[in-house]
Amino acid sequence: MTTSIYKLTSPKIKGGGIYLNYQAGFLKAIDVADAQPTAEQLGYLLNVLPVYEKELAAIKWGTMNVVPLPEKSVKDKIKQYCAAYKEYRDVTYTPTQTEKSNIRTVPVNSELLTVFFESPLRDYSINNYIKRINVTKDILKNGRDIQERFPNDYNHELYHKLPPDRLLAYQKHLHALGYRRNKVGKWVLGDQL
């Protein structure tokens, strides 16, 4: 199935571009991304946007610029990831076949890789990159000072499911709420010790 991505930009739309995703010639998705179109602009776009990719060129876009974005091949994504891994970790990375097939659906660019490799992780595999792609995008857009959102009480199941890096953050969160470990190692509020 062929996928084509187009970026729509206009000096009248604040914030950035709007992305159109066509699969097998049909409109599959519209991603407003960082763009901030008004309701009128979005309404106009939805009215003139063709369902069929072949009709895209026939539309008079006015001040809007429509540019097809070349899709990176899996090989290009793997090369870029492995180069970044070598740069940050000083070791050659050998991807597995599963990783090669899974990275197909995930964006790989220098900004995302920089955020990923500069994160305090222990696992810098492609699988972990894929698992953390939404967090990585969030950090890229909003910055690193993102507060982890944990429940405001001790949750036994959550505590035992968390990976070590997030477990430490959860323990700090519990301490901030006044929880302490009692003599048998259970988390209780400070006044219940």
Question: What does the pLDDT look like over 120-176, one tens digit per residue?
Answer: 778 899 999 999 999 888 888 877 654 556 777 888 888 888 887 778 888 888 888
Domain interval for residue 160? 156-192
Overall domain count for the chain: 3
Q: Could you tell me if residue 148 is inside a domain?
A: no
Domain stop point among 69, 90, 117: 69
Q: Could you tell me if residue 147 is inside a domain?
A: no
Do residues 79 and 117 share a domain? yes
Report the candidate in 8, 5, 4, 67 with the shortest Cα–Cα distance to residue 37. Answer: 8
Q: If residue 166 lies in a helix (H) or strand (E), which one and from where to where? A: helix 164-177
Do residues 90 and 132 share a domain? yes
Domain stop point among 69, 102, 121: 69
Question: What does the pLDDT look like over 58-94, one tens digit per residue?
Answer: 888 788 888 887 777 888 889 889 988 988 888 899 9
Predicted TM-score (pTM) of this structure: 0.48
Domain stop point among 20, 48, 69: 69
Do residues 163 and 107 share a domain? no
Instruction: List 8's β-bridge partners, or say none.
Output: 18, 66
Do residues 169 and 137 share a domain? no
